[in-house]
Amino acid sequence: MVSLALVVTACGRPLVSPLAPPPYRAEISAPYDRTWSALVRALARENLPLRAIARDSGVIASDDAVTPIGLWADCGAVGDDRVEGEAIVSFTLFVEPNGAGATRVQVNSKMRTQAHRKGSSGKLKPLPVYPCASTGRFEANLLETVRDLVRE
């Protein structure tokens, strides 16, 4: 029985997880109040569900959202096949003034598979759950929208 288990696991292909990038950091050339308002409007445009907004501490936390793997989340590969399907993502934004005319923003992300398959064929499976890393698209697009909104 033990030898059968060893044969089965030896034939499995290893998961190659993507390297998690560091938190996304950017500076917005606008005062804190103006940046905060633009950030809230940008999140509303993205229709991202929010769990908490605390303007006094500069923290915005999103609730879990489902997204196609590859859009906001990179979930790696199993052998030569990319992991495809759906990922659950959430973001935490930290906003702080940086002098009179600038604001620092940091975006932390947390992601994992919800339903996935190896490659583009087969049924989506909920298990095993794989960790995912941000593609950086959400963060870059969000902060570009914020920069546009503070200029209005």
Q: How far apart are the first and last CA of the chain?
A: 69
Q: Please report the pLDDT score of residue 120 as a whole number.
A: 81
Q: Are 62 and 91 in contact (CB under 8 A)?
A: yes
Task: Specify the number of domains making up the chain.
Answer: 1
pLDDT at 13: 67
State the pLDDT at residue 15. Answer: 67
Residue 7 pLDDT > 90, yes or no?
A: no
C-alpha 103/C-alpha 98 separation (Å) is 5
Question: Is 80 inside any structural domain?
Answer: yes
Give the residue-averaged pLDDT of 93-103. Answer: 96
pLDDT value, residue 37: 97
The answer to the question of residue 32 being in a domain is yes
The pLDDT tens digits of the residues spanning 37-54 come to: 999 999 999 999 999 999
Number of other residues whose CB lies within 10 A of the CB of residue 18: 18
Whether the predicted pLDDT of 18 surpasses 80? no
Ordered alpha helix ranges (H), the chain:
2-11, 32-46, 137-151
Reported confidence tier of residue 20, pLDDT bands at 50, 70, 90? confident
Q: Is residue 3 part of a domain?
A: no
Within a domain: 4? no
- Residue 82 belongs to domain with CATH number: 3.30.530
* Residue 1 within a domain: no
Which residue range(s) make up the domain with 102? 18-151
Neighbouring CB atoms inside 10 A of 95's CB total 21
Q: What is the pTM of this model?
A: 0.85
Is residue 8 assigned to a domain?
no
Dump strand ranges (E) for 7-127: 15-16, 24-28, 50-54, 59-62, 65-68, 73-74, 77-78, 81-97, 103-118
Please report whether residue 115 resides in a domain.
yes
DSSP letter assigned to residue 69: B
- Better-scored residue on pLDDT, 133 or 18: 133
Question: In this predicted model, what pLDDT tens digit does every residue of 104-144 receive, in sequence order?
Answer: 999 999 999 999 998 887 899 999 999 999 999 999 999 99
The reply to whether 75 falls in a domain is: yes
